Chain A
Amino acid sequence: MSSFGTNRPAGPREGDYYQRDLTVHPPAFTPIYKTSVTRSPQKALLSLEQGIGEITGPVFTADDLGPLDNDLILNYAKTGEPIGERIIVHGRVLDENGRGVPHTLVEFWQANAGGRYRHKKDTYLAPIDPNFGGCGRCLTDENGYYYFRTIKPGPYPWRNYVNSWRPAHIHFSIFGRSFTQRLITQMYFEGDPLIDVCPIVKTIPDPEAIKRLIAPLDLRATVPLDCRAYKFDIVLRGRRSTLFENRLEGN
């Protein structure tokens, strides 16, 4: 045995998170998405069993948030409400075992109805909406549910190919219970023909994994005469519970 492999395997432990199934994720190097070419590691990731620092992560509480943080229709309203299709986005944060992930921080950001971001580096000619900031956040409840109200974002041109357009999308950042569950992703909208031609979507090798990023219209959750709804469930890595293995110290 070489010198770097001298530690005694401690075996799987209750509380370890399942190893990430990298086949559902985009690889780092995806030349159709050009920026990835010089920003992708070329060497293999080093697989690491999880220590205390991996199975823990930051804890957030309601004290970290403000009362309008999950309402993008009101949280930057200055002279009126923003222009665009009013929608609710809601769903559950689950783990791979199907259990809700409670009290976890979910953050989201997006362009306005015309596809323009409120960001000093965005120079797209579509105008800023004076009443729309484009970001929000919330904690899931005890069952893992979250929801927010917003304006449906517009498609957005970007410099990849000469004529590349992002589908309408909302960016999501989810913490989960541990640093191993930390995830950033994007939600797309049912029926958008730009999904199938987007290089960033196509970085994902598995067509089923792409489908899971597309939120269906949810008429049952719409508010009649006010706003429609889309449902988007998010799955984080699952966690091992004890079956028959000997319980090791600390559990």
Chain B
Amino acid sequence: MVQPLNYLSETTSQTAGPYVHIGLAPAAAGFDIFEKNFSHVVAGPQTRGTRIRIEGRVLDGTGTPVRDVLVESWQANSEGRFNHPDDTQTKALDPDFRGWGRSCSDFDTGVFLLDTIKPGSVPWRDGRPQAPHISLWIVARGINIGLNTRLYFSDEESANANDPVLRLIEQEVRRKTLIAERQETPDGLVYRFDIHLQGDRETVFFDI
């Protein structure tokens, strides 16, 4: 017999279910209740940096868009600093940028949007620069525990090639599942990013 190692155990995850919008995005559920709502608009009017739109879908193992998905994003500002006390870099904070957004897919098309700015580079644990990226967290009916992934940018080819996290992906063929495709549209810069939950084109998901 030994003494008990008395750490608490993390509370178990459960699916967000099909009605996640009620709690996290009531307007999408079809009603108005809170004075202030969170949204897919990550960058405010004063936010510094290059305006971009992320436009993507989450697809299931049959290739069908998941139309009840909720995606949250977390990213650094245009200088590469996170708006959080545990980011102790000396780079400037942007007072008009929390860095977090929440997006629901459209019930018909399955498309989710994020209106944000392109993040700057953030150093990895050993000081090497990471390529610009946005962390994403995905929940939905049928997903028992939220899925973590990263979105990188197709126009950052050399930074991506040296990114310490992309290089951890053993099969090079899978690295491209994390690269969003740049498109210049009349409305501005759009990056297309489809997330495949399952199958041959399965997106890389992380245990962080």
Interface residues of A (CB under 8 A from B): 2-8, 10, 13, 15, 19-22, 24-28, 30, 33, 35-43, 45-59, 63-66, 69, 75-76, 94-98, 107-110, 117-122, 133-137, 171, 173, 177-180, 182-186, 200-201, 203-204, 206, 208-210, 212-213, 234-238, 250
A–B pairs, 19, beta carbons within 8 Å = A7-B167, A26-B144, A39-B140, A41-B205, A43-B202, A51-B130, A52-B82, A54-B208, A97-B7, A171-B16, A171-B23, A178-B86, A179-B74, A179-B137, A184-B16, A203-B15, A213-B12, A235-B11, A236-B10
Query: Is B141's CB within 8 Å of the partner chain A?
Result: yes
Contact A235 B10 (CB under 8 A): yes
From B82, which residue of chain A is reached at the shortest CB distance? A56
Q: Which 3 A-B pairs have the closest CB atoms?
A: A109-B23, A35-B142, A58-B100
Q: Are A39 and B142 in contact (CB under 8 A)?
A: yes
Are B11 and A120 in contact (CB-based, < 8 A)?
Answer: no
What chain A residues lie within 8 Å of B148 (beta carbons)?
A: 179
Closest to B76 in A: A53
B29–A57 touching, CB < 8 Å: no
The answer to whether B135 touches A179 (Cβ under 8 A) is yes
State the interface size on chain B (CB cutoff 8 A). 86
Which listed residue (B26, B62, B98) contacts A133, Cβ 8 A?
A: B26
Contact in complex: A97, B8 (CB < 8 Å): yes
Smallest CB gap from A128: residue in B: B31
Return B207 CB to nearest CB of chain A, in Å: 4
Bound-state Cα–Cα, A237 to B135, Å? 19
- Cβ contacts under 8 Å, A209 to chain B: 9, 12
The secondary structure that dominates the B interface is loop
B198 at the interface (CB under 8 A from A): yes
Q: Are A4 and B135 in contact (CB under 8 A)?
A: no
Is B10 a contact of A237 with CB atoms below 8 Å?
Answer: yes
A to B contact number (C-beta, < 8 Å)? 279
Determine how close the nearest CB of chain B comes to the CB of A10; give it in whole angstroms: 4
Q: Which residues of B contact A (CB under 8 A)?
A: 7-24, 26, 29-31, 33-36, 38, 60-62, 64, 66, 68, 72, 74-76, 82-89, 98-100, 107, 122-126, 128, 130, 133, 135, 137, 139-148, 164-165, 167-170, 174, 197-199, 202-208
- With A41-B205, A135-B33 already in contact, the answer to whether A55 and B86 are too (CB < 8 A) is yes
A39 touches B60 (CB 8 A): yes
Question: Is the Cβ of A109 less than 8 Å from the Cβ of B7?
Answer: no
With a 10 A CB-CB cut-off, give which of A98, A177, A235 has the most chain B CB atoms: A235
Excluding A39-B143, A59-B83, A136-B23, 18 further A-B contacts by CB distance (< 8 Å) are A28-B145, A35-B142, A39-B61, A39-B198, A42-B198, A45-B207, A47-B206, A48-B165, A94-B8, A96-B10, A118-B29, A118-B30, A118-B31, A121-B19, A135-B23, A183-B13, A204-B12, A236-B10
Q: How far is the CA of A76 from the CA of B198 in the complex (A)?
A: 40
Task: Report yes or no: B144 in contact with A25, Cβ–Cβ below 8 A.
Answer: yes
Q: How far is the CB of B126 from chain A (nearest CB, A)?
A: 5
B199 touches A180 (CB 8 A): no
Chain A neighbourhood of B19, CB < 8 A: 109, 117, 119, 121-122
A177: chain B residues within 8 A (beta carbon): 86
- Contact between A96 and B24, CB atoms less than 8 A apart: no
Q: Which residues of A contact B9 (CB under 8 A)?
A: 21, 24, 96, 208-209, 212, 235
Find chain A residues with CB under 8 A from B31 CB: 76, 118, 133
CA distance A226 to B21 in the complex (A): 30
Residues on B with beta carbons closer than 8 Å to the beta carbon of A118 = 22, 29-31
B36–A65 CB distance below 8 A = yes
* Contact B207 A133, beta carbon cutoff 8 Å: no
- Assess A58 versus B140: contact at CB under 8 Å? Given A135-B26, A173-B23: no
Contacting pair A182 B36 (CB below 8 A): no
